[in-house]
């Protein structure tokens, strides 16, 4: 069971950073690619992950079941998969709102990314504390388990930093990059559902 949690943490880390880099391509036609845009993207993702860590820790203590975190992952996957289709209307409204409210580029782009990708990033942020809670069987091993899971998640993020830029976006484009990330999360979640069986069997000991 722990092996699966490592796979889940790796996939969440990969998709999180991969989505962050791909998001800049969605923003580019509307807001450009300046350092201001990158600041808003990075800031939003860090804020969302912070909220996700808090939420994941709280939910993990309340419902320490694999089934619970898998539902969060599936929701995140669906939202990531449809993000490119929602980008044009969301960003178009944001630009109009920026003009009406005399909002700066940083605030406008930040709010745009928050609306489009804030929720799925929060949900993916919840994966690591959930995985730590489920994988830890004894308090004496909490440090070792958490360190290993964060290391594996970060390795996933390392791959996610290169995969969209070097291969996916040049090969299949931005939209399909998001779709592939969504399919990857759905596949990993489906494997988890097969492992945990019915919801009542989802408690890990």
In the predicted structure, residue 98 carries a pLDDT above the cut 80: no
Residue 198 phi/psi, 5-degree rounding, is: -65, 150
pLDDT one-digit tens code per residue, 70-89: 999 999 999 999 999 998 88
Percent of the chain with pLDDT over 70: 90
pLDDT of residue 97: 64
120: three-class secondary structure by DSSP: helix
Percent of the chain with pLDDT over 90: 66
pLDDT one-digit tens code per residue, 158-176: 999 999 999 999 999 999 9
Concatenated DSSP letters of 27-79 = HHHHH-SSHHHHHHHHHHHHHHHHHHHHHHHHHHHH--BHHHHHHHHHHHHHH
């Amino acid at each position: 069971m722990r092996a699966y949690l490592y796979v889940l943490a790796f996939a969440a880390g990969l998709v999180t950073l991969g989505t962050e880099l791909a998001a800049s391509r969605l923003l580019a036609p509307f807001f450009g690619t300046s350092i201001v845009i990158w600041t808003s993207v990075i800031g939003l993702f860090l804020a969302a992950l912070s909220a996700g860590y808090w939420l994941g820790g709280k939910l993990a203590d309340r419902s320490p079941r694999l089934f619970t975190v898998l539902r969060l992952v599936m929701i995140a996957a669906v939202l990531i998969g449809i993000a490119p289709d929602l980008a044009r209307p969301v960003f178009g409204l944001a630009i109009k709102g920026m003009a009406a409210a005399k909002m700066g580029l940083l605030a406008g782009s930040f709010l745009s990314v928050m609306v489009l990708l804030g929720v799925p990033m929060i949900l993916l942020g919840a994966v690591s504390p959930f995985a730590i809670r489920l994988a830890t069987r004894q308090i004496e091993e909490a440090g070792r388990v958490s360190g290993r899971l964060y290391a594996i998640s970060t390795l996933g993020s390392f791959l996610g930093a290169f995969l969209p830029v070097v291969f996916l976006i040049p090969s299949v484009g931005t939209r399909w990059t998001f779709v592939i990330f969504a399919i990857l999360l759905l596949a990993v979640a489906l494997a988890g559902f097969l492992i945990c069986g019915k919801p009542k069997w989802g408690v890990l000991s």
